[in-house]
Chain A
Amino acid sequence: MPNMNDILILLPELYLVVAACVLLLLDAFMTPARRGVLHWLSIGVLLIAMYLVVAGQPEQTVTAFNGMFVRDRVAEILKVFALLSTALVFVYARPYLIDRKLYVGEFYTLTIFAVIGIMLLVSAGNLLTVYLGLELLTLSSYALVALNRDSSLSSEAAIKYFVLGALASGMLLYGMSMVYGATGTLDLVQLHTAAVHNTMPNLLLFGLIFMIVGIGFKLGAAPFHMWIPDVYQGSPTAVTIFIGSAPKLAAFGMAYRLLESGMGDPSIAHHWQQMLAVLAVLSLAIGNLVAIVQTNLKRVLAYSTISHMGYLLLGLASANSEGYAAAMFYAISYALMGTAAFGVILALARAGFECEEVDDLKGLNQRSPWLAFLMLLVMFSLAGVPPMFGFFAKLMVLQAAVNAGMLWLAIVGAVFAIIGLYYYLRVVKVMYFDKPVEGTEHKPQADVSLRFVLSLNAFALLVMGFCWGPLLEWCKSAFAA
């Protein structure tokens, strides 16, 4: 029977559930003119949840509800950064939502429900919790993508996302049922031991393959990346920024739980290491090469996401504590870079103007030198130019791959990092060296909170390039066993 102790372990999640319901009710009784209260309240709710996660973190790994829920260092770090990046999303999204008449309470509630899904997913100790956490996250995301229901592009993106997402969930569930059939357990800890002494290794591998398909889809790794460009382009930018940040942390958490906690024994790990290596190479190749020919900025960033997931998979494929720490470090750095990149797009967009095309940035330096400089920082960090945050994240992942004896994989990663430089630097070139297009001269809107937080976010990418040590130590401490 669950007791008080279980509930205390689950406190941050329970708090968020209650807060989301209260926000939902507040929204129903509040006049639209006072929605600003809801906005700041939502950000406050996320920050308090962050405090609860950190303050209530037990020294040892603890489990609750019969091992369904695990609270360890890995979950703590992922939750902190998922909550942080969602709070950033709320700050950046507000002017965009107001301009497009999408400034509704449901945006905040659905996003918070998605965050609850992320938190449950990264803390999952059971295949059931993995699946349900994932469904909570994706179901909220589908609705968010479709939020702009008068736009046909948005509805198309939502339908694509929904159909492919449902297919991927089906694959994952099918794989889980096979694994259950082979081992007779849903608990990840028991699965770890049951997987070794198994009488049906073929069935187990069969299930594993399907689970990796599900993971690949959620990460957006090639060849399961088809949905990413369309969904990134089609959904309102305020939703794209969310989908492009916190759920990546969740996908890493899910991969870690399923692969390391469940199937982490070296006798099985070498199977999925090879599969992840293939996924990584494909993602690096497709992401970086296709991004070169894109003209839509949101699509460029979508393909850049695919390539970044390739680097993340490099770390995961190492299948040792160094590799996991590097991959988590990478996921965190990507979440911060992704919010900053889409944050600049949101800062430039205004009513009737999306700022979606790369050409929309032409001559940005003359119109708004500050935003152009922030975008420069973000692009350098995404490209992995030293001394930015993104450079060290790439370095850690490549180092982990070399140390794990996958030199060829590291070389592929380094080569594609150089190819990727082209399209990141093209954005910088367009901003600084091209003449502005007629009719786009006027200055971007000034939303003080957006500009201030965006500046902090972009400069954090530079500062973290110099003091990445503590964060990396924190990540390493999570996997030191």
Chain B
Amino acid sequence: MIDPQLFQLICFYAFGAVTVGAALGVISLRNTVHAVLSLVLTFFSTACIWLLAEAEFLAIALIVVYVGAVMVLFLFVVMMLDIEQEKVREGFIRYLPVGIIVALIMLGEMVALIGVRAMHAQTMGENPATAMGVSNTEWLGNALYTQFLLPFEIAALILTVGVVAAVALTLRHRGGARHQSASQQVSVNPRDRVRLVKMATEYPASVQPAPAQPSAGDQETKP
């Protein structure tokens, strides 16, 4: 029987490795569609790590919202745009050495400062949801609408600004574009559209008694 703690640790490292590998794939894969797919994998394995941390709601939300909606949209955009891959990657090799050096320095600093080496990374205390004896989602909902109400509302405001900005930057009133005016259509009066005209009955050409060709001259002089 495997020790549950050990199992958790193994899972954590496995998912962590997949996350880092997939994230590397996002920036290094040649094909843009593959890059997006490996971003999906990054999100998925991150969600698994969150599950290990007992943040079930966040994990599901990450998969439903990001993988299910945002990344699918991303994939559509990437497929439709037909990006010239050579052009995008132009500066990659040139900046690679500098990038690697900076990344290595930062990694070294982070490892030294955060104390991974000394293995004194500690847990942040008990999970508040378990302490209260409620499910993760319930606890999150409670916290969001009481303790974190103000940030929650500000986030809503930020989304509003996003909508306003998107409309302001993309809405164009093009000259010459034809569109319908619903209010004009609804308020129209039947008399403006259809005019009833009284006129003498006319017969179709085939039914009309054809006047005899030779006697045309006689007919004209008749009245």
Residues of A in contact with B (beta carbons under 8 Å apart) = 1-2, 10, 17, 21, 24, 64-66, 68-69, 104, 106, 109-110, 113, 116, 120, 126, 128-129, 132-133, 135-136, 139-140, 142-143, 146-147, 149, 178, 181, 184, 200, 202-203, 205-206
| Beyond A132-B155, A143-B168, 20 additional pairs, beta carbon < 8 A | A1-B146, A17-B157, A64-B150, A106-B168, A109-B164, A110-B161, A110-B165, A110-B168, A113-B161, A113-B164, A126-B151, A132-B158, A136-B154, A136-B161, A139-B158, A139-B165, A143-B164, A181-B124, A203-B113, A203-B115
A208→B82 CA distance, assembly (Å): 42
A-B contact pairs, 17 of them (CB 8 A): A21-B160, A65-B149, A68-B150, A110-B168, A113-B160, A116-B157, A128-B148, A139-B161, A139-B162, A143-B164, A143-B165, A178-B114, A181-B114, A181-B124, A184-B125, A200-B115, A203-B114
Given contacts A136-B154, A202-B113, contact A2 B161 (CB under 8 A): no
Residue of B nearest to A127 (CB): B151
Interface contact A206-B168, CB-CB below 8 Å:
no
A135→B162 CA distance, assembly (Å): 11
Given contacts A110-B161, A132-B154, A202-B113, contact A2 B146 (CB under 8 A): yes
Residue of B nearest to A178 (CB): B114
A66→B152 CA distance, assembly (Å): 13
A65→B155 CA distance, assembly (Å): 15
Nearest CB of B to A154, in Å: 11
Residue of A nearest to B112 (CB): A202
Nearest CB of A to B56, in Å: 21
Nearest CB of B to A10, in Å: 8
Given contacts A142-B165, A184-B124, A184-B125, contact A135 B158 (CB under 8 A): yes
Given contacts A184-B125, A206-B114, contact A129 B150 (CB under 8 A): yes
Nearest CB of A to B60, in Å: 22
Interface contact A129-B165, CB-CB below 8 Å:
no
Does B215 reach chain A (CB closer than 8 Å)? no
Interface contact A140-B150, CB-CB below 8 Å:
no
Residue of A nearest to B170 (CB): A149
Nearest CB of B to A62, in Å: 14
B124 neighbours in A (Cβ, 8 Å):
181, 184
Interface contact B165-A140, CB-CB below 8 Å:
yes
Does B207 reach chain A (CB closer than 8 Å)? no
Residues of B in contact with A (beta carbons under 8 Å apart) = 109-110, 112-115, 124-125, 146-151, 154-155, 157-158, 160-162, 164-165, 167-169
Which of B124, B148, B151, B158 lies at the interface centre, i.e. has the most chain A CB atoms within 10 A of its CB?
B151
Nearest CB of B to A263, in Å: 16
Which 10 pairs from chain A and chain B are nearest by CB? A143-B165, A106-B168, A65-B150, A132-B154, A68-B150, A206-B113, A128-B151, A202-B113, A113-B161, A136-B158
A132→B156 CA distance, assembly (Å): 10
A68→B151 CA distance, assembly (Å): 8
A17 neighbours in B (Cβ, 8 Å):
157
Residue of B nearest to A155 (CB): B169
A178 neighbours in B (Cβ, 8 Å):
114
Which of A64, A65, A129 lies at the interface centre, i.e. has the most chain B CB atoms within 10 A of its CB?
A65
Nearest CB of B to A49, in Å: 15
A10→B100 CA distance, assembly (Å): 47
A139→B168 CA distance, assembly (Å): 13
B154 neighbours in A (Cβ, 8 Å):
120, 129, 132-133, 136
A104 neighbours in B (Cβ, 8 Å):
168
A140→B165 CA distance, assembly (Å): 7
Interface contact B151-A106, CB-CB below 8 Å:
no
A68→B109 CA distance, assembly (Å): 32
A106 neighbours in B (Cβ, 8 Å):
164-165, 167-168
A142 neighbours in B (Cβ, 8 Å):
165
A110→B168 CA distance, assembly (Å): 10
B155 neighbours in A (Cβ, 8 Å):
132
Which of B109, B115, B158 lies at the interface centre, i.e. has the most chain A CB atoms within 10 A of its CB?
B158
A181 neighbours in B (Cβ, 8 Å):
114, 124
A110→B109 CA distance, assembly (Å): 40
Q: Indicate which residue in A69, A113, A143, A146 contacts B157 across the interface (CB closer than 8 Å).
A: A113
B115 neighbours in A (Cβ, 8 Å):
200, 202-203
Interface contact B150-A143, CB-CB below 8 Å:
no
Q: Indicate which residue in A120, A126, A149 contacts B169 across the interface (CB closer than 8 Å).
A: A149
A146→B169 CA distance, assembly (Å): 7
Residue of B nearest to A180 (CB): B124
B165 neighbours in A (Cβ, 8 Å):
106, 110, 139-140, 142-143
Interface contact B169-A143, CB-CB below 8 Å:
yes
Nearest CB of B to A158, in Å: 9
A65→B143 CA distance, assembly (Å): 12
Nearest CB of A to B76, in Å: 22
A206→B113 CA distance, assembly (Å): 7
A272→B126 CA distance, assembly (Å): 32
A24 neighbours in B (Cβ, 8 Å):
164
Nearest CB of B to A116, in Å: 7
